[in-house]
Structure 1
Amino acid sequence: MPVTTELILARHGEAHCNVAGIVGGEATCTGLTDQGHAQVRRLAVRLDQEHTTAPMSALYTSPRRRTVDTAAHLADQLNLETRVEPALRGLDHGEADGRPWTAIKRRFGGRPQQYPHRPIAAGAETWNAFISRCRAVLRRILDKHEGERVLIAAHGETIEASFALFLPLPLDDTELAGQITGHSCLTRWQRHRNTFGHDVWMLAGHNDTNHLRSPMEVIT
């Protein structure tokens, strides 16, 4: 079946907030670690090698520092202009921003997905509101790039939102299932057209970090 449109979501590399175990929101995200930069450089080289004959047509990123850092490596390697899309930002954490995740989760009773109709802290966005926001912006981007290959420097939560968009999953009152997303991993969604002329979105890959294990030349 021919692929008519493709959405590739690349999670950011390891960030300082990940290593410190703190909530890295709009106010406190300080970008990638040295390890995170190395991870994304390997990812960028891989994507460049895989898409020489069918390159990406657009690169989008969340406005947070760790995804902007990620997008910068991708843009340089793939010769793309970075488009910052505010609605792709991660969960708005409110007063949890910059605080230890263990303390926030202990007070809340789990991660944000556990009680998706409740904010994890004062001024925070609920998980269901976040999913609704991300589904809408992903759909808007896909409508704008019909028939193209689009790359997004994303948060792990954005990848979860893509499952809610394409499967689709309901906005429930409690956590049902999640997805593992490693640093700099790839998730690929492809829209295939079958012999009956029907367009169907299909998951072609998820949590793919083969570029971190396979030897390759890394451009520094």
Structure 2
Amino acid sequence: MRFVVIRHAQSANNLLYERTGASVGRHHDPELTDLGRTQAARLADAVAEGALPWQITHLHTSLMTRAVQTAAPLADALNLPLLGNLDAYETDGVFIANEDGTPVPHPGATADALQAVSARLVLPVGVGPDGWYTRPYEHEYEVHAERARALISSLRHQHDDGDVVALLTHGAFFQHLFRALLGIEQMSGWVLKHNTAISLFADAAVTDYSTVTALRVDWMPHLSDDLVSE
């Protein structure tokens, strides 16, 4: 199996942090900026024009709005259904701060709001008018790591060995996906993942000890330098 793991385009929270260095004023489920929409369009165009070494057969996305907005033009370009995935969201989940500043979970976007972004979106069972996020605020490292391992295992179970599975996800959660795909239990470093950057993983051994190969990490063939953001 082959995996194409893509981070969402620039969101309003990304821009807020770039400008202020802080998260004060963050939105619990931000939309894309104008730059982010351009990045998403360039990504879709490049993939449709053959920038990848493989042809994507299935497209999954986090149900956070910024991920669905990034995935929508790609689904259109590839003429594929957009498969909403309940495990691909960012670390900590969807949350707001209550009056004393304590993070508490938020249900996220409603089914109608998400399907207004893309008519191709296929929502999991249970997503409806009250939103989709039903889990607690997730701040523990091992919870994130286990979710990443479970997501990769689920995708492998759903798809055939010859499939090319694309996943629209998030920068911090990618750290755990990277480790899950390569079988790394603990890692003190950080793998840079720019907005709409692509990482390619294949079930192809290159040594006697490997089963998965990371062929590209933080790859952006579709973006000029002026369109790159974190």
Instruction: Quickly name the TM-score band, shorter chain normalised.
Output: 0.7 to 0.9
Shift of 1:178: 1.1
* 1:143 to partner: Cα distance: 2.5
Q: What is the Cα deviation at residue 192 of structure 1?
A: 1.7
Q: Secondary structure at the match of 2:49?
A: helix
Closer, same or farther: CA 94–65 of 1 in aligned 2, 3 Å = closer
Structure 2 residue aligned with 1:203: 214
Work out whether residues 152 and 181 of structure 2, in 8 Å CA contact, stay in contact via their aligned partners in 1: no
Distance 1:57 1:51, change over 3 A: farther
Could you tell me which residue of structure 1 aligns to residue 145 of structure 2? 131
Q: Following TM superposition, by how much is the alpha carbon of 1:156 offset from its aligned partner in structure 2, in angstroms?
A: 1.1
Matching residue of 2:66 = 66
Any unmatched runs of 5+ in structure 2?
18-22, 103-135, 226-230
Structure 2 counterparts to residues 181-220 of structure 1, below 5 A? 181-192=193-204, 200-213=211-224
Name which of 10, 17, 23 aligns with 1:14.
10
Larger displacement relative to structure 2 (179-188 or 142-151): 142-151
Contact persistence 1:6–1:150 (CA under 8 A): yes
- Greater helix share, structure number: 1
Shift of 1:31: 1.3
Pairing of 1:48-197 with structure 2 (within 5 A): 48-50=48-50, 54-92=54-92, 97=96, 123-145=137-159, 146-171=161-186, 176-192=188-204
Deviations 1:13-70 (A, max 9, x none): 0001111233899x72121111001001111111112279952111000010000101
RMSD of the alignment, in Å?
A: 3.1
Alignment TM-score, normalising by the size of structure 2: 0.70
Deviation, 1:208, is: 0.6
Q: Name the aligned partner's letter for residue 162 of structure 2.
A: G
| Equivalent pair of 2:91/2:173 in contact (CA under 8 Å) | no
Letter in 2 for 1:62: S
What residue identity is the alignment partner of 1:192? A
> Do the aligned partners of residues 193 and 143 (structure 1) sit closer, same or farther apart at CA in structure 2, a change above 3 Å counting?
farther
The one-character-per-residue Cα deviations of 1:69-126 (angstroms, maximum 9, x if unpaired) are: 011111011111001011111112576x369xxx99xxxxxxxxxxxxxxxxx94431
Residue 149 of structure 1 deviates from its aligned partner by 0.4
Is the contact between residue 149 and residue 180 of structure 2 (CA under 8 Å) also seen in structure 1?
yes
What is the rounded CA distance, in whole Å, between the counterparts of 1:62 and 1:37 in structure 2? Answer: 17
Q: Which runs of 4+ in 1 moved over 4 A?
A: 51-54
Q: Is the 8 A contact 1:189 1:204 kept in 2?
A: yes
Percent sequence identity over matched residues? 22
- Number of aligned pairs? 184
Aligned-partner Cα distance in 1 for 2:61–2:97:
21
What's the CA shift for 1:12?
0.4
Given the superposition, is the C-alpha separation of residues 206 and 193 from structure 1 closer, same or farther in structure 2, using an over 3 Å criterion?
closer
